[in-house]
Amino acid sequence: MSTKALTGALLTLFALFFTIPILWLLLASSKSPAELIDSSPYAPGSLGSLTDNWNSLIAFQDGAVLTWLGNSVKYALMALVLTMVVSIPAGYALALMSFAGRRLLLIVTLVVMLMPATALVLPTFLELSYVDLINTSWSVVLPFSFFPFGVYLTYIYFGTAVPRELLEAARLDGCSEAGTFWRVALPLAKPVVALVAFFSFTNNWNNFFLPYVMLPVSDAYPMQVGLTQMLASTPTFNPVVGANAEVQPPTLVLATLLSVAPVLIVFLFSQRFLVAGMTAGATKS
């Protein structure tokens, strides 16, 4: 077998590995509970069953799913704004400015970036508890906004892809450091800004453990935490609730699809910018 054929076979295998579960989710959401068990895994359901599952999903705890989705959007967007305000200038400063403690800050950024996020939950909880922010939106938004990976991406980009001659020319023309960043460096950094924004939004949207610890009230849960309540009310995963549980497996599948849809939509509309951002620092200008 030629190298080209082997590569094609491996790519096809990986594509099937990732697409088959997604196909099952899409089909399972259109089935009734009985059809999900009795019919072929990849047999299509019906529009009527999909409508019933949607109605059951919306009726769960008087529309809690819509509340959770709204909370996820609020937390992710608030944290995204703060992340962009902090990460992009920080990466610029670390890459192109000289100041005391610069190397130490870069090392700390790398160390924190490599640490598991769950390792920081307990000290973060204690800090926010000290300032009475537990069970508020800020208890989730502020930790989400601390995004060292975004700082590092921006640092790499400004250090490799932005010509220093342009920045020096702007300074010689009388631009302040803030003006140089805002008028020259930032417009050139659109690819990495889009990349940091996407990773930040995705990370915030999919985060489970931090909101689970910080938000003990169900009405404040984001979608990822709310799914655990639905899981606990599904007899397939929690036999204690009995067969007449509030959530049936197809409804849970539909909720899962709903929880990943925003990230998928953002990816589809921003993939051109993401590719540009990931390749922008590959060569030095």
Position 13 scores a pLDDT of 92
User: pLDDT tens-digit profile of 101-139?
Assistant: 888 988 988 888 888 878 888 888 899 999 999 988 999
The pLDDT value given to residue 241: 64
pLDDT of residue 77: 93
pLDDT number for residue 1:
61
**Given this model, what pLDDT does residue 232 score?**
84
Q: What is the mean pLDDT of residues 168-183?
A: 83
Note the pLDDT of residue 285.
44
pLDDT over 80 at 19, yes or no? yes
Provide the residue ranges of all domains of the chain, joining segments of one domain with +: 31-36+45-280
In terms of pLDDT, which residue wins out, 245 or 196?
Answer: 196
127-174 confidence digits (pLDDT tens) = 999 999 998 899 999 998 888 999 998 999 888 888 888 888 888 888
Is 80 exceeded by the pLDDT of residue 282? no
Q: What pLDDT is attached to residue 62?
A: 87
pLDDT band at 278 (very low <50, low <70, confident <90, very high): low
pLDDT at 244: 55
Q: Which carries the bigger pLDDT value, residue 74 or residue 33?
A: 74
Reported as a single tens digit per residue, the pLDDT across 197-240 is: 999 999 999 989 889 989 887 789 999 999 988 888 887 777 76
Q: What percent of the chain has pLDDT over 70?
A: 93
pLDDT of residue 283: 47
Distance of CA 87 to the CA centre of its chain: 16
Q: How many CB atoms lie within 10 A of CB 273?
A: 17
Among 203, 187, 186, 219, CA closest to 145: 203
Q: Identify the pLDDT of residue 55.
A: 93
Give, in order, the Cα–Cα distances in Å from 129 to each of 98, 124, 136, 209: 36, 8, 11, 16
Predicted local distance difference test score (pLDDT) of residue 79: 93
Q: What is the 3-state secondary structure (H, E, C) of the chain?
A: CCHHHHHHHHHHHHHHHHHHHHHHHHHHCCCCHHHHHHCCCCCCCCHHHHHHHHHHHHHCCCCHHHHHHHHHHHHHHHHHHHHHHHHHHHHHHHHHCCCCCHHHHHHHHHHHHHCCHHHHHHHHHHHHHHCCCCCCCHHHHHHHHCCHHHHHHHHHHHHHCCCHHHHHHHHHCCCCHHHHHHHHHHHHCHHHHHHHHHHHHHHHHHCCHHHHHHCCCHHHCCHHHHHHHHHHCCCCCCHHHCCCCCCCHHHHHHHHHHHHHHHHHHHHHHHHHHHHHHHHCCCCC
Q: Which CATH class is domain 31-36+45-280?
A: mainly alpha
Round the average pLDDT of the chain to a whole number and report it: 86
Band the pLDDT of 245: cuts 50, 70, 90: low
